[in-house]
Chain A
């Protein structure tokens, strides 16, 4: 596992032109629910301004890992996250970062579009900023515009910002959710199968969007769609469920390596569609 990471760093694929410190480091991360281990000993690095994809069959712990990154498991009774999860070198569980501040630095987009049903488009986009105590109108407007432009939604909604979010189509709603997450200016955006409930056209728009967003935010995406992982991601983590139903990391490497020259025979089988 570490060998492939080192190799990746050496051929420059992990971080591009020059080697930068990883933004997020996972070291022997374990997640358990009421004693039942769901994710075991997962370690990998997330390079800044890259897209890292988590792939693997259902039950391999992809979403569990993703949700541990902005401490959503805190809300689940009996959930326990162990190991080191370092954001810029500071542990997000043990490093004394306030959970609220952490979540404003690591945003999340969910499987189904979930705009706040009673709020207008504008209020949805700036809701994160307002929750974080930002009142200044000029800053809200500026952030909303920038986020909506980045989410490729500005042209279609700029004239009807006061309309209800529910008047948008499914694909537009998901882009609104991306804009809502971006408006807080997070460093990392977690995306949990962001296109699984969308049609192919909306999916394509969101994939294009992700590539464009790379200069603005680092993304980690969970996807069941391997073509999607191959198309958008720079690095790929392949996970599988072990005998005892705990998810384990099989291989972590640059996406091109995972799809064309994987080291582990199980990865070969999976990316060639032989199981899962």
Chain B
């Protein structure tokens, strides 16, 4: 039998298989090298991107870490005097101010963005296209101009600076970001799911509310928290409208001026007292920690929600 096999003409398929195997094996080393090279290049880029982040965090922790005491985060600021140059008190009111402004901004931006995002996905009308263009333009407007807007339309009519005006500016800043996140998350929900709801006789609004929005929740929550984190650190519009550069009271009325972490960092770093210069690092550190908490929370929530969605 083996003689018979040897005398048969070579099968073109097996012949070609041999040829392909040979080339494949020969080029394997080159392909593997190339692959390693790319992985190396990507890793290097990652490291380069991480260097500034690590340096900034290191500097802030190194210079501001010692300020991070209970008194610093809970007490009111104390204006240094000639006799007591090192007494700076705390920044409790700035932390609370930042949280209040962010919460008010979120309360305005989130409902608006949810409705807007849903509208952009569900309605393919001319109006929707105009809105989409508007949202895109809004996301491109420099934040200082949003501050100017709030100054002209809220601060001037009311005749005083206010946390409310600041939150309006921040809400305008957040709206396009959250809208985009909502739109992307909703588009990620398969059409088949929407159709299944409609096929049961549900109204479009009911399907959107009961089926589509819950399915898109992980993406929506992540996008919202990231937008909030971004807005909390925003300085430019606040400089124009929140006032209270040296507020040292617990005035929590949202229609009064208020202290906030980013603006406080700015004013402390421009201060003529060395103690306030140093404290600016501490303020920055508190702000970074707050933003970090939001970032990590958003990741945890989205990881948990998407895990639950899979199970």
Where the two chains meet, the residues of A that have a C-beta atom closer than 8 Å to any C-beta of B are 18, 98, 100-101, 104-105, 129, 132-134, 136, 139, 142-143, 146, 184-185, 187, 216
Question: A103 → chain B, closest Cβ, in Å?
Answer: 10
Beta-carbon contact of B24 and A142 below 8 Å: no
User: Please, could you name 30 A-B residue pairs with CB atoms under 8 Å apart, sorted by A?
Assistant: A18-B1, A98-B28, A100-B31, A100-B32, A101-B24, A101-B25, A105-B21, A129-B20, A132-B24, A132-B27, A133-B24, A133-B26, A133-B27, A133-B28, A133-B30, A133-B31, A134-B20, A134-B24, A134-B27, A139-B16, A139-B19, A139-B20, A142-B16, A143-B16, A184-B20, A185-B13, A185-B20, A185-B21, A187-B17, A216-B13
Identify the 3 closest CB pairs spanning chains A and B, nearest first.
A133-B27, A185-B17, A132-B24
Where the two chains meet, the residues of B that have a C-beta atom closer than 8 Å to any C-beta of A are 1, 12-13, 16-17, 19-21, 23-28, 30-32
Beta-carbon contact of B13 and A134 below 8 Å: no
A199 to B20, CA, bound (A): 34
Question: B192 → chain A, closest Cβ, in Å?
Answer: 14
Q: Given the complex, which residues of A lie within 8 Å of B21, measured CB to CB?
A: 104-105, 185
Beta-carbon contact of B20 and A146 below 8 Å: no
Chain A residue with the shortest CB-CB distance to B18 = A185
Beta-carbon contact of A185 and B31 below 8 Å: no
A142 to B30, CA, bound (A): 25
Beta-carbon contact of A101 and B16 below 8 Å: no
Question: A35 → chain B, closest Cβ, in Å?
Answer: 15
A105 to B21, CA, bound (A): 8
Question: A193 → chain B, closest Cβ, in Å?
Answer: 19
Beta-carbon contact of B23 and A134 below 8 Å: yes
A142 to B12, CA, bound (A): 10
Given A143-B16, A146-B16: A132 touches B23 (CB 8 Å cut-off): yes
A79 to B16, CA, bound (A): 35
A184 to B20, CA, bound (A): 7
A142 to B13, CA, bound (A): 10
Chain A residue with the shortest CB-CB distance to B25 = A101
Contact of A98 among B12, B20, B32 (CB under 8 A): B32
